[in-house]
Amino acid sequence: MAIGKTELTQQVAEEAGLNKAQAGRAIDAVLNSITQALQNGEEVRLTGFGNFRVTQTAARTGRNPRTGEQIQIAAGKRPAFSPGSRLKQAVSGQ
């Protein structure tokens, strides 16, 4: 089961004592701020929760899964997330 933005907005509204519209704007602001920082090449550190950063991927040869044909995959950038200690503990139940 996955939690979508609607459910997340509802939970934030209840936790923070906001209405749904305010919670939605707050979530959008956080996500936009993280996205903007990553676009600028910055790392976002949320102590205990985790770190967001951009990693470089090298050019490589891959295979088209349908045809088996070799293809060249260009080098690029991708977002990465490393969980923090409190998040790891919360998920593991320790």
Give the model confidence (pLDDT) of 20-51 as tens digits.
999 999 999 999 999 999 999 999 999 999 99
Same-domain status, 6 and 33: yes
In a domain, 7, yes or no: yes
Residues 38 and 58 in one domain: no
Do 62 and 34 share a structural domain? no
Whole-prediction pTM: 0.81
Residue 59 and residue 36 share a domain: no
Q: Is residue 73 located within the same domain as residue 36? A: no
Does the pLDDT value for residue 79 go beyond 90?
Answer: yes
- Where would I find the beta strands (DSSP E) of the chain? 44-46, 50-57, 60-63, 70-73, 76-83
Domain of residue 60 covers: 54-94
Burial class from Cβ neighbours inside 10 Å (0-12, 13-18, 19+) for residue 23 reads buried
Residue 14 resides in a domain: yes
Residue 47 lies in a domain: no
